[in-house]
Amino acid sequence: MNPIFVYALCHVVVCLVSCTQIHQEGYCTFYDECGKNPTVSGSLIPAIIPCIYNGPAKPLAGLHLQKLQEVCPMLYKGGATQACCSLEQLNTLQKSLLLSKPILSRCPSCVENFVNIYCQNTCNPNQSLHINITRTYNVTINGVIKEAVTEYQAYLSREFADRSFDSCKNVRIPATGGFAISTMCGKYGSTLCNTQRWLDFQGNSGNGLAPLDIDFRLIDNNTQVGQGIVPLSTRVWSCNESTSPEQEACSCLDCVASCPIIPPPVPDSGPFKIGQLDGVLVVCLVVFCGLSVSFVGFLLVSNLYRGLKSQNKDKNDNEVKKEVHLHEVTCTDKASLATQDFLGSLFQKWGTMVASHPIKVILISLIAVLVLSFGLVFIKLTTDPVELWSSPNSRAMKEKAFHDANFDHFFRTNQIILTAPNHKGYAYNSLLFGRQNFSGVLSKDLILELLEFQTRLQAIQFWSDEVGRTISLKDVCYAPLNPTNPSLTDCAVNSLVQYFQNSRENLEAKINMTVNGQTGEVDWRDHFLYCINSPLSFKDITDLGLSCMADYGAPVFPFLAVGGYKNEDYAEAEALILTFSLNNFQRDTLGFELALRWEQKFLDLVQEYQRNPSTNFTFTYMAERSLEDEINRTTMEDIPIFMISYAVIFIYIALALGEYSSFKSVLVNSKIVVGLGGILVVGCAVLSSMGFKV
């Protein structure tokens, strides 16, 4: 027998037994309307569902054809047009699309692709090729029993569906600044949205728009579905294409492909190098060597010259010996002699006068010094880094003043960055997110340790005499959602454990759940992976149902919880970040004083924790007051150095200028020693004030 015939026969037999539907070119699966879907309630528009019709597509004419051209222009083929939808269906489709189209309307090619999917499902004359009805129910319309469709499968080529999704995924809603698909992907939001989730949400009759359930099946190239089903694949407009000459392509804001290509920056020419060495160093060395050589050369030559001269002198002693003649004395020699004489006599008189009235001179000098130092009363020393390093007239300072006056002071930041370099990373097979790499610091025991540490810091307390009670974090913290009367859980503390609302129980929670027929355990890692993608969510998509919001009510963006990651691979982050934000009270208020004291306690505790040998973290930390502390510390260190060096200089001057005849021999040596010592100390002081370590 002919093998093709055998195959066809088998196919027909199989179909007669298992599939009553004909999937064939030019055949419909459903046609016309069969009333409301009884399983759908609370829909925005009446959920009208179609009737089963597994016959040939119908030719269109007149008003019907006109409507098709209006609603589904991509299916319009002039007079020869056939379709699987009635005029009423076209009207219903039009109403339904009118509700979804506006959010995508900024990008015409996306709208076109979106409409295309629904037109193909409803009207394509080859409908039966990609639609497979899976659920129906019997209705009686005008005394006739009809079968209405309540669920069908739509087979789409994966490439077709992905390209349709890609054309829409960057379209924005200007009112919120967010993405349009975030409203079309249900709980997944825009970050976790993908083609399948986008279509699933649209095909879910619970979304308020879809009249029936559509089970979208995405089929890869070269994959056979069987039963004569052929996945749909039609023309898709890329978002940088204009769908018609009157339409413009989508803007760069809504479509990445439309953005102008920015030429990559010219790479840096790199540091100046000569061979393998630093160029500047080489040039300096050459100059230095040149100068040294010429200096030494000069010394040698001049010595040689002098030697020769003295030899000559010896030889011609008698010839050379002669008087200095008057005409050899030049004008400049005379002038310098006169100046020296004049200054000499002036200073001699000055010295004599001072020496003969010692008491008066000292008194007058003292008064002059005191009067001139009177300005010290107005001196204001500051250690506030803001005032220290920005000029009061600078733009930044003015903007800060404006911000402080119109909004509020920017909060004080106390931060700890924790790493665990000895912990090895690992891979985690997430039921929901697939295989993910986790860094070593993201392990449960370390996160529990972080939680414990954070709890200890949150519990810091100290007694204040001024207030007359114990002060804790809530008295000084930045509490954005309850600024007037905050409790401890209103304080802005950002860390990874806030994804679990600082609850050990939430962190330890585990549950078995089933996704796409696969059952597995989900735990804190799945919740974490969800939250880094949707930090604004109040409920994750795992069966744990945990919120991602911090206990003080604000979202914790992933860059506030972890650090040291590439791209957006937050799960591979090397560090955990723990941030306590305190209110920025006005300086010279009690609140400011208390905040400083809280920060001191914070630093004490952190230092104690760092010294603890059982600590599993390596970390760095800072408090808002740290910078000021450091300035104070270095200033205090510098003061004695300056005092000593000035004292040494004065002693040196006094000794060097005085003439102590009895100590003359001692003096010569002490002059040199003291002088050198003074220079050394002054040098050290200058260097250390410039920030060098001596």
Q: Which residues bind ligand NAG (CB under 6 A)?
A: 19, 25, 75, 124-126, 132-134, 136-138, 145, 147, 159, 221, 225-227, 229, 238, 240-241, 257, 435-437, 445, 449, 510-512, 521, 614-616
Residue whose token pair is 């419909």 = 28
Nearer to ligand NAG by C-beta: 103 or 133? 133
Nearer to ligand NAG by C-beta: 33 or 490? 33
Are the C-beta atoms of residues 155 and 217 closer than 8 Å to each other? yes
Burial of 290 (0-12, 13-18, 19+ CB in 10 A): exposed
Cα–Cα distances (Å) from 83 to 21, 126, 237, in that order, read: 18, 8, 22
Are the C-beta atoms of residues 121 and 72 closer than 8 Å to each other? no
CB of 205 to ligand NAG, least distance (A): 17
Nearer to ligand NAG by C-beta: 126 or 170? 126
Cα–Cα distances (Å) from 392 to 379, 389, 399, 409, in that order, read: 17, 10, 11, 17
Residue whose token pair is 């879907």 = 37
579-588 b/e (C-beta count within 10 Å ≥ 16 → b):
bbbbbbbeee
Q: How far apart are CA 266 and CA 268, in angstroms?
A: 6
Nearer to ligand NAG by C-beta: 401 or 459? 459
Nearer to ligand NAG by C-beta: 221 or 393? 221
Residue whose token pair is 């809530």 = 474
CB of 75 to ligand NAG, least distance (A): 6
CB of 539 to ligand NAG, least distance (A): 19
Is the alpha carbon torsion for 36, 41, 43, 45 positive or negative? positive
Would you tell me how many other CB atoms lie within 10 Å of the CB of residue 528?
Answer: 27
Query: Residues near 565 by Cβ (< 8 Å), separated by ≥ 6?
Result: 572, 573, 574
CB of 394 to ligand NAG, least distance (A): 44
Query: Residues near 538 by Cβ (< 8 Å), separated by ≥ 6?
Result: 547, 548, 549
CB of 204 to ligand NAG, least distance (A): 19
CB of 20 to ligand NAG, least distance (A): 7
Would you tell me how many other CB atoms lie within 10 Å of the CB of residue 25?
Answer: 11
Nearer to ligand NAG by C-beta: 579 or 610? 610
Q: How far apart are CA 400 and CA 408, in angstroms?
A: 10
Nearer to ligand NAG by C-beta: 241 or 628? 241
Residue whose token pair is 């003074």 = 678
Q: How far apart are CA 121 and CA 431, in angstroms?
A: 32
CB of 521 to ligand NAG, least distance (A): 5
Nearer to ligand NAG by C-beta: 454 or 581? 454
Q: Which amino acid is at 515?
A: V
CB of 526 to ligand NAG, least distance (A): 12
Nearer to ligand NAG by C-beta: 47 or 133? 133
Nearer to ligand NAG by C-beta: 97 or 255? 255
Nearer to ligand NAG by C-beta: 248 or 637? 248
Q: Which amino acid is at 327?
A: H
Nearer to ligand NAG by C-beta: 259 or 284? 259
CB of 530 to ligand NAG, least distance (A): 16
CB of 52 to ligand NAG, least distance (A): 10
Query: Residues near 145 by Cβ (< 8 Å), separated by ≥ 6?
Result: 138, 139
Q: How far apart are CA 23 and CA 2, in angstroms?
A: 24
As beta bridge partners, residue 477 has 582
Nearer to ligand NAG by C-beta: 149 or 556? 149
Nearer to ligand NAG by C-beta: 144 or 324? 144
CB of 384 to ligand NAG, least distance (A): 36
Closest CA to 112 of 63, 76, 71, 82: 71
CB of 540 to ligand NAG, least distance (A): 16
CB of 10 to ligand NAG, least distance (A): 17
Nearer to ligand NAG by C-beta: 455 or 512? 512
CB of 217 to ligand NAG, least distance (A): 8
Residue 19 has which token pair? 């599939």
As beta bridge partners, residue 562 has 576
Nearer to ligand NAG by C-beta: 380 or 435? 435
DSSP, collapsed to helix, strand or coil, labels residue 543 as: coil
The gap from C-alpha 35 to its chain's centroid, in whole angstroms, comes to 53
Strands 575-582 and 273-274: unpaired
Residue 426 has which token pair? 């690992």
Residue 88 has which token pair? 């009423």
Nearer to ligand NAG by C-beta: 120 or 205? 120
CB of 255 to ligand NAG, least distance (A): 9
Rounded to 5°, angle at Cα 249 from 244 and 253: 160
For the chain, count helices (H), then strands (E): 21, 22
CB of 421 to ligand NAG, least distance (A): 14
What is the per-residue DSSP string for 239-306? Answer: TTS-SSTTSPPPPTTT-GGGSPPPPPPPPP--S-EETTEEHHHHHHHHHHHHHHHHHHHHHHHHHHHH
